Chains A and B, each alone.
Chain A
Amino acid sequence: MSAANASPQNRDAQYPPIGGIFVVNFDQVLSGAGGGLPAFGVTDRRYGRTDLMAVRSPRYAPARASCITPLMASAVPGVLCPLAAGPALGPDGKAAFYVICQAPPGPSLWDDLNPSLSRAPWSEGDLMARLVKPIAIALDQLVELGVTHRSIRPDNLFSARPGQPVVLGAAWAMPPAYKQTAVFEPPYIGQCHPSLRGNGLIADDVYALGVTVVALATGRLPMAECDQSEIIRRKLERGSFSALVGDERLPASVHDLVRNMVAEDPEHRPPPALLSDIVAARARRVAARPPMKASRALQVAGNQIWDSRSMAWALAQDPVLGIKLLREGHVDAWLRRSLGQTALAMRLDEVVRARASDSSPDPGRADAFMMMHAVAVLDPLAPLHWRGLCLFPDGLGPGLAGLSLPRGDGTEPPGLAKNLETLVQWEAIPQWADERPDRFDGVMLKLDSRQNRMMLRYVGWAGGLPRLRYALNPLLPCASPLLENDCVVRLNELLPAIEAGNSVEPIDREIVAFVAARSSVQLEGEWAVIGRPDDPDIDPPGTRALAVLRVLASLQVIEPGLLVQRLSERLLPSLLPALRNWRRGAEREKRERELREASRTGNLPLMVTVLDDPKARAIDRNDHDMAREQMRRMAVRTELLRGQTALRAERARVTGYEIAQSIGLMALVVGIVAAVLS
């Protein structure tokens, strides 16, 4: 809707070059360069660089602000680092968010796994010198910047030519691990929805690098024939190393290194600094024990479960069945009798007992908490399992973007958004973190959860899931239908987009939530009014339109040079009733003239000043009260005069008689004097 009728010149002005210098060349498609996302060539208007690309961010999977900012400040060699990020207008008239980064120096390593190209597996020397060592150095520098890559896989690793070290591709235009398949992720991350994986640890990058080493060493993608669920199941059952390598033979040094890199526990994996010293990394011994197998399997949803981590995964996949098995004691009995894990069974028993003693009116809530705690007990590495959702706490933001936005195409079950809402509402995350105090900062998570819940509880358009979604995703474009063809990520981009639109109602719920989340201006009073569009009882007239104007004016203050004539002309009719708040007719007419003039110039703050001058309003109101009192008195006096005609006549007659008597008295005196003197 928005921008549909805006002229091409205006649209171009609305979308200047990204970072002021980078123009996306949509004709120059860079296939396979964007780490799973569409990538295009870029023209650098300042320095003329040609080795750049623009990676398009999916509309519902926001770019990683926590990575883009530090990496823009200090580039990391061996990584296609972001240089700028911002919206750009596509040839189809739809804008999207793009991250400008260095373009890959050559083809990806995916070609080395392509059976049709019949390339030989990488040698041990190549693996170490060209892959592990340079990537380890790059990851080590990412650690120093406090970021993770989370998209290490052969199709996102590039090499200029054979023999050259590889570079890490771009992973910044989407949520962490968004395009990673389960094979490149530890099983506890592979379980999560792509949006809900969170930033993870650098150890998870090491894991993905280990899987890549296996793939290149064997010349084929491990478990290529399996679906995602099967990959996770195999990894949990056999352990990642066995599942990935299988019967393949790896060179001895690679074998030891990979075993360490894909260790189940992230703490057992070698840190990048150690990986850059291959000998030390290979010699590192981890004390991880293989998963304990049960003497007898338990059948869960058609699967034979042999170990506790697989049990956790199976229960979480089918929560209804899982709750039934837990409450009926089948899992407890299996742990004690078949697996011999009495301590684990006792902890699980505590969880089930806590559920039994929970007398809350909502049994679904108690069941959800029981399942969450049970999975955490059974698999200490597992993500938070909540009503069929698997996530890590920092995946909540991208998850809200991916699962709570109305897409209209029914690609996501609507229940997932509701489940995320209950997760925040019931503050499940800190409770889950309490089960894993060694890995998560429970205090910080508690504070975050409290803040998120407060945001969710805020009533009206400026609260709920939409506000939380924008608050947790700084680079999520506003999802308002009014901005369908626009990409508004930052607050200063919103007003030009609204100006380009044609809607009579300039803002809707999504825009309100967006502004409430991003703006530092306190507009709580305005949100309360704007959230009642159909309420006829809002008093005085024009209050809602004035609140909308104040919000839009606060946006124009950010961009002082921006004048929005079209928008102000559209707003004008709805603002005219607000003039009735000015009681003095002459003042009203004067303000209407000023309002129309300000509207013609497109100056929204001036329009606010014209309509909403508190001092002048107070004087006007005071004068009006005085005038009304004066008019009331005049009316009373008029009525009195009209109603006292008879009384006045009586008094006048009496007065006349009294005067006549006085004259008579004087006549008497004169008569007496005249009679005496005559």
Chain B
Amino acid sequence: MSKAASTGMQRHLPMIQGIAIGLLVITATPSAILCAALLMPTILAMMADRLHGRPVGRTVLLFGLAGACGPEMTLWRSGRGMEGAIALATDVHTLALSWSFQAGGWLLAQILSLAICFYVETMARIEITTLEKRRAATAAQWPD
């Protein structure tokens, strides 16, 4: 795929996502209600993430979707009714489990970025120290 085509896709992605969500709401309203309830932290994370591409929001979304698979399957098997959707959406246990997944995703993203940052910085410090030592040794070997 060409770069221009890729850029065009990205530009139209929100619209495509909106249409997909609209279709989901129209065609599967109970599932949409359940998803909205289960993915409330994801919506908040997406709104709070100001980074380009919303990497934190996306991580939380992935973890949220992973946690929403179980309840959605349960809704699907119980006949996809509005009552079942509301029951599941108001089930504290279901909500807690799903939201915990999303919180874990957020936490994982933060910890991983901090850990890698610490690792990289530590390695840079070690390299600087090594270079300074070698430079001092060379300077001692070749005095002016």
| A contacts, CB < 8 Å to B | 583-586, 588, 624, 627-628, 630-631, 634-635, 637-638, 641-642, 644-645, 648-649, 651-661, 663-665, 667-668, 670-672, 674-676, 678
Quick one: given A585-B141, A627-B141, are A668 and B128 in contact (CB under 8 Å)?
Answer: no
Minimum CB–CB distance from A71 to chain B (whole Å) comes to: 63
Q: In the bound complex, do residue A668 and residue B142 qualify as a contact, i.e. CB atoms below 8 Å apart?
A: no
Q: In the bound complex, do residue B73 and residue A630 qualify as a contact, i.e. CB atoms below 8 Å apart?
A: no
Complex formed: what's the CA distance from A676 to B77 in Å? 11
Q: In the bound complex, do residue A652 and residue B59 qualify as a contact, i.e. CB atoms below 8 Å apart?
A: no
Minimum CB–CB distance from B34 to chain A (whole Å) comes to: 13
Q: In the bound complex, do residue A664 and residue B142 qualify as a contact, i.e. CB atoms below 8 Å apart?
A: no
Minimum CB–CB distance from A655 to chain B (whole Å) comes to: 5
Q: In the bound complex, do residue A675 and residue B141 qualify as a contact, i.e. CB atoms below 8 Å apart?
A: no
Q: Considering the complex, which residues of chain B in the window 34-71 have a beta carbon less than 8 Å from any beta carbon of chain A?
A: 51, 55-56, 58-63, 65-70
Q: In the bound complex, do residue A652 and residue B119 qualify as a contact, i.e. CB atoms below 8 Å apart?
A: yes
Q: In the bound complex, do residue A664 and residue B59 qualify as a contact, i.e. CB atoms below 8 Å apart?
A: yes
Minimum CB–CB distance from A490 to chain B (whole Å) comes to: 45
Complex formed: what's the CA distance from A586 to B131 in Å? 22
Q: In the bound complex, do residue A642 and residue B128 qualify as a contact, i.e. CB atoms below 8 Å apart?
A: yes
Q: In the bound complex, do residue B128 and residue A657 qualify as a contact, i.e. CB atoms below 8 Å apart?
A: no
Q: In the bound complex, do residue A661 and residue B59 qualify as a contact, i.e. CB atoms below 8 Å apart?
A: yes
Answer yes or no: B14 CB below 8 A from chain A CBs. no
- Which of B61, B67, B139 is close to A671, meaning CB atoms less than 8 Å apart? B67
Q: A637-B131, A649-B117, A667-B66 are in contact. List 4 more A-B contacts (CB 8 A).
A: A641-B127, A661-B58, A661-B109, A675-B69
Q: Considering the complex, which residues of chain B in the window 89-110 have a beta carbon less than 8 Å from any beta carbon of chain A?
A: 101, 105, 108-110
Answer yes or no: B115 CB below 8 A from chain A CBs. yes
| Chain A residues within 8 Å of B61, by CB | 664
Answer yes or no: B87 CB below 8 A from chain A CBs. no
Interface SS, A side: helix
Q: In the bound complex, do residue A655 and residue B116 qualify as a contact, i.e. CB atoms below 8 Å apart?
A: yes
Minimum CB–CB distance from A193 to chain B (whole Å) comes to: 59
Across the A-B interface, the 7 shortest Cβ-Cβ residue pairs: A656-B113, A664-B62, A671-B66, A657-B55, A652-B117, A656-B112, A660-B109
Minimum CB–CB distance from B14 to chain A (whole Å) comes to: 19
Minimum CB–CB distance from A633 to chain B (whole Å) comes to: 9
Minimum CB–CB distance from B40 to chain A (whole Å) comes to: 17
B118 nearest CB neighbor, chain A only: A652
Q: In the bound complex, do residue B70 and residue A635 qualify as a contact, i.e. CB atoms below 8 Å apart?
A: no
Q: In the bound complex, do residue A648 and residue B69 qualify as a contact, i.e. CB atoms below 8 Å apart?
A: no
- Which of A584, A653, A667 is close to B113, meaning CB atoms less than 8 Å apart? A653
Q: In the bound complex, do residue B117 and residue A653 qualify as a contact, i.e. CB atoms below 8 Å apart?
A: yes
A637 nearest CB neighbor, chain B only: B131
B141 nearest CB neighbor, chain A only: A585
Complex formed: what's the CA distance from A649 to B120 in Å? 8
Quick one: given A649-B121, A671-B65, A674-B70, are A663 and B108 in contact (CB under 8 Å)?
Answer: yes
Complex formed: what's the CA distance from A638 to B72 in Å? 55
- 26 A-B interface contacts by CB (under 8 A): A584-B142, A586-B141, A627-B142, A628-B142, A634-B131, A635-B135, A637-B127, A637-B131, A638-B135, A645-B124, A649-B117, A653-B114, A656-B111, A656-B116, A657-B56, A657-B113, A660-B109, A661-B62, A664-B61, A664-B108, A668-B65, A671-B65, A671-B67, A675-B70, A675-B72, A678-B73
A669 nearest CB neighbor, chain B only: B66
Q: In the bound complex, do residue B116 and residue A661 qualify as a contact, i.e. CB atoms below 8 Å apart?
A: no
A670 nearest CB neighbor, chain B only: B66
A650 nearest CB neighbor, chain B only: B117
Q: In the bound complex, do residue B124 and residue A641 qualify as a contact, i.e. CB atoms below 8 Å apart?
A: yes
Complex formed: what's the CA distance from A102 to B127 in Å? 90
| Chain A residues within 8 Å of B142, by CB | 583-585, 624, 627-628
| Chain A residues within 8 Å of B127, by CB | 637, 641
Q: In the bound complex, do residue B65 and residue A658 qualify as a contact, i.e. CB atoms below 8 Å apart?
A: no
Residue from B59, B68, B138 whose CB has the most chain A CB atoms within 10 Å: B59
Q: In the bound complex, do residue B121 and residue A648 qualify as a contact, i.e. CB atoms below 8 Å apart?
A: yes
With an 8 Å Cβ cutoff, the count of chain B residues facing the other chain is 46
Quick one: given A583-B142, A637-B131, are A664 and B113 in contact (CB under 8 Å)?
Answer: no
Quick one: given A653-B117, A675-B70, are A668 and B132 in contact (CB under 8 Å)?
Answer: no
A676 nearest CB neighbor, chain B only: B73
Q: In the bound complex, do residue B105 and residue A664 qualify as a contact, i.e. CB atoms below 8 Å apart?
A: yes
Complex formed: what's the CA distance from A457 to B127 in Å? 63
B115 nearest CB neighbor, chain A only: A656
| Chain A residues within 8 Å of B1, by CB | none
Minimum CB–CB distance from B136 to chain A (whole Å) comes to: 10
A588 nearest CB neighbor, chain B only: B143
Answer yes or no: B5 CB below 8 A from chain A CBs. no
Complex formed: what's the CA distance from A506 to B67 in Å? 97
Q: In the bound complex, do residue A585 and residue B140 qualify as a contact, i.e. CB atoms below 8 Å apart?
A: yes
| Chain B residues within 8 Å of A668, by CB | 62-63, 65-66, 69
Q: In the bound complex, do residue B134 and residue A634 qualify as a contact, i.e. CB atoms below 8 Å apart?
A: yes
Q: In the bound complex, do residue B128 and residue A641 qualify as a contact, i.e. CB atoms below 8 Å apart?
A: yes
| Chain B residues within 8 Å of A665, by CB | 62
Complex formed: what's the CA distance from A181 to B130 in Å? 90
Complex formed: what's the CA distance from A668 to B59 in Å? 10
Q: In the bound complex, do residue A648 and residue B65 qualify as a contact, i.e. CB atoms below 8 Å apart?
A: no
- Which of A628, A638, A659, A674 is close to B112, meaning CB atoms less than 8 Å apart? A659
| Chain A residues within 8 Å of B120, by CB | 648-649, 651-652
B66 nearest CB neighbor, chain A only: A671
Minimum CB–CB distance from A100 to chain B (whole Å) comes to: 59
Minimum CB–CB distance from A292 to chain B (whole Å) comes to: 84
Complex formed: what's the CA distance from A667 to B101 in Å? 10
Complex formed: what's the CA distance from A586 to B138 in Å? 12
Complex formed: what's the CA distance from A572 to B67 in Å? 87
Minimum CB–CB distance from B39 to chain A (whole Å) comes to: 12
Complex formed: what's the CA distance from A656 to B59 in Å? 11
Complex formed: what's the CA distance from A583 to B61 in Å? 64
Minimum CB–CB distance from B51 to chain A (whole Å) comes to: 8
Q: In the bound complex, do residue B141 and residue A656 qualify as a contact, i.e. CB atoms below 8 Å apart?
A: no
Minimum CB–CB distance from B7 to chain A (whole Å) comes to: 20
Minimum CB–CB distance from B35 to chain A (whole Å) comes to: 13
B63 nearest CB neighbor, chain A only: A664
Minimum CB–CB distance from B85 to chain A (whole Å) comes to: 16
Minimum CB–CB distance from A195 to chain B (whole Å) comes to: 56
Complex formed: what's the CA distance from A631 to B133 in Å? 11
Residue from A651, A674, A675 whose CB has the most chain B CB atoms within 10 Å: A675
| Chain B residues within 8 Å of A634, by CB | 131, 134-135, 138
Q: In the bound complex, do residue B116 and residue A645 qualify as a contact, i.e. CB atoms below 8 Å apart?
A: no
Minimum CB–CB distance from B96 to chain A (whole Å) comes to: 16
| Chain B residues within 8 Å of A658, by CB | 55
Complex formed: what's the CA distance from A464 to B49 in Å? 90
Q: In the bound complex, do residue A674 and residue B138 qualify as a contact, i.e. CB atoms below 8 Å apart?
A: no
Q: In the bound complex, do residue B132 and residue A638 qualify as a contact, i.e. CB atoms below 8 Å apart?
A: yes
Minimum CB–CB distance from A196 to chain B (whole Å) comes to: 58
| Chain B residues within 8 Å of A667, by CB | 62-63, 66, 101, 105
A677 nearest CB neighbor, chain B only: B73
